Structures are given as C-alpha cells and as structure tokens.
Amino acid sequence: MVMSTLLVAFFMFPLLQGGAAQPAGDPQAGKTLWEGPATQCRNCHGTNGEGAFGPDLAGRRLTVPQFARAVRSPWGIMPAFVESQVSDREIADLVAYFNSLPAVAQPGAWRFEVPANAPRGQQVALATVGCAQCHGPILNGPRLNAGAVGAEFEWLRSMVYQHTTVMPAHWKMLGEQPAVRVRMGNYSPSRVSDAMLQEIWAFARDLGFRPGIAGRVSPGGAAADGVTYTVNVENIGLPGKGLTAEDLTINVVVPAGTSVAKTTGEGYQGVRADAELKANVAVWQARRMGPKERQTYTLTLSRAATAADNVRGVIRWTKPAVKTGPSDSVNIAPAPLVPATQ
C-alpha cells in the first residue's frame, strides 16, 4: 500500500496557531534551497512541488506552523528532519516559495515507477517506504556505503532510524567530508517496520554490495603545454571490512576541441571513444584497489574545459560482480571551474 496518502491527510489537517505571528519567509531563498544540493525533498514532492510519491506542496497555502509540524513530526511514512537539516528560517522560506506558486490540478508522476516483476524488496523501497525515490531503484549509494564498511543488517536499522546522527559518524569513520548537510531524516519504527527493512536489505544484498570507490578531479591549473587536471581515485572503505575493487578502468572525458598533451599515472591506455559518456576519454587501468588505497593521475589538455563541456568521467570495475550489469561504476563529478582572470 502506498502510504503517501497519509501525508496528504496530515497536510490538510488544520493546526491551532495560538495567535502567534508567523515569520515572513523569502520565496527566492526558498526556491534556491529547494533546487540546490542541500535538500533532496523534490525527489518525492516533485521538481516544483507539484507532488509525486509525496503530496503536492505548490499553492497549498500552508502556514509556517503547519509546514514545520510536517517537517519535524510528520504523519505517515515521511522521515522527520531536525534543525541542522532544515532550519526554522529555511522552513519559512520554503513556505513562502510554495505559496508563491500556483496550485496543481493533480500530482505529478513518481520519479521512479515500480518495474514490472520487481522483487519484493524493490517494491517496498520504491512504493511503500519511498527510499528508492531518492537512492534510485537499485540503491547504488546505500549499497556502496554498506560495502565500504562490511555492513550487517543492524547498520541499516541505525541508518534508517537514527540517520541524522549515524550518517555523520559514518562519514567520519570513512574519513569523508561531504560538501552538503545530512539530507535524509529519521524514519519512525512505528511507520517503517523491521520487516520492511528486512525486505529492502535482502534485495540490496542480492544485487551485491559495492566497494567504496570514489573519484575527484581538481580545477584545471595552468601548465607550460596547456591546462593540467589532477584525478584522485581512492577506495574509502575500512581496512579489514570494506570490499576491494578489481579490474578498474578510470575514464576521464577529453572535451571536444581539445587534445591530450601529457598524462601521468601508471596504466595509461590512451584515448578512446566511450559510448556511455558520449565522448572521447583518456583511460587508465588499475588491477585492484583495496580499502584506503588510492591513485593519482594527471591529464594535461591543450586548453581549459568549459562549463558546457567539462572534464568529468566514470570509474568502472568488474569485481566484485553485481547483478546490475557486467561491470559496476561510479561517476567522477565535473571539475570545479576556475573563474577567468582579467
């Protein structure tokens, strides 16, 4: 049963205001927050608050206390969000933004529909709990985090029920410094049962957990023969617990109109066309990468990349094998752009 209808009922329930003056929000600040990387609420509530798995928000004329109650102590399947995730000021801004939008005649489509013949755990993740509306139908992120620490079921329980404290501890344990705040709230055990989590866990484990491979590319730096980008690849997993990746290829886009002047790093294979990235890529191979192992590569291009055609890439590996395809992969995000100097 899809439980997002319970959220609709809550939003429609009038709350006592107690005569308190409501803070005035900034609709532009609310729009910026909603569309930016600090929250992922739009994955359930729609790109413009038109609704999807979660109820519509646009044009509902909710008050700040009503919205705050729904965020802090939600009714239904939605997790609860704390002040460090969405502040009272930001709640007021979001209310102002949604109340500046026209109401919708009917909610939008879900971000991800349930595939035909989906396993039970995938059905629960997509249509009952909704976690896969953010994490994707095959839960790539959670499967990577599980593989990085050799997780057992209790790890999932703590991540779901105590996410706002457990996720920062997980990042610290792995030595990660995320660029954004904790974006998932804490689910209630009375709404998301252990039985549901067991179904999701079995589905994720059957697909195969993923090693904690991560790749980052630096801003371009001026060099004698062009512009040099540094690519750092590492396995962020815990030694003795995290999975080792084997047979890796590091594929970095060579933007159209540029050429490779020089590279460094073992295993360079040259430039080839990549069908997935729809671009030419510089390719390195690595035999294996265990937890806390890392490699550094550099790519010197004939000119700097642009925002429209930036240096980015993908890291692929064939072991450990997964059911999602012949190889597994993780993206290398586009390089930060260096502002042009006068």
Which CATH number covers residue 263? Answer: 2.60.40.1170
Q: Which two tokens stand for residue 311?
A: 């240096």
Mean pLDDT, all residues of the chain? 92
Query: Which tens digits make up the pLDDT trace of 313-330?
Result: 999 999 999 999 889 999
Distance between CA 106 and CA 141 in Å, rounded? 31
Query: Which tens digits make up the pLDDT trace of 81-118?
Result: 999 999 999 999 999 999 999 999 999 999 999 999 99
DSSP secondary structure letter of residue 32: H
Query: Which tens digits make up the pLDDT trace of 140-169?
Result: 999 999 999 999 999 999 999 999 999 999
DSSP secondary structure letter of residue 242: S
**Domain assignment of residue 141, given as a range:** 120-207
- 35 lies in a domain? yes
Domain's final residue, options 155, 174, 207: 207
- Specify whether 189 is located in the same domain as 259: no
- Given a cut of 50, whether residue 16 has pLDDT beyond it is no
Query: What does each C-alpha distance from 166 to 154, 160, 239, 262, 267 come to in angstroms?
Result: 12, 9, 20, 43, 38
Q: How many domains does the chain have?
A: 3
- Specify whether 230 is located in the same domain as 319: yes
Distance between CA 285 and CA 264 in Å, rounded? 12
- 134 lies in a domain? yes
More confident call, 342 vs 61: 61
Q: How confident is the model at residue 14 (pLDDT cuts 50, 70, 90)?
A: very low
- Specify whether 124 is located in the same domain as 44: no
- Specify whether 222 is located in the same domain as 292: yes
- 179 lies in a domain? yes
Q: How confident is the model at residue 339 (pLDDT cuts 50, 70, 90)?
A: low
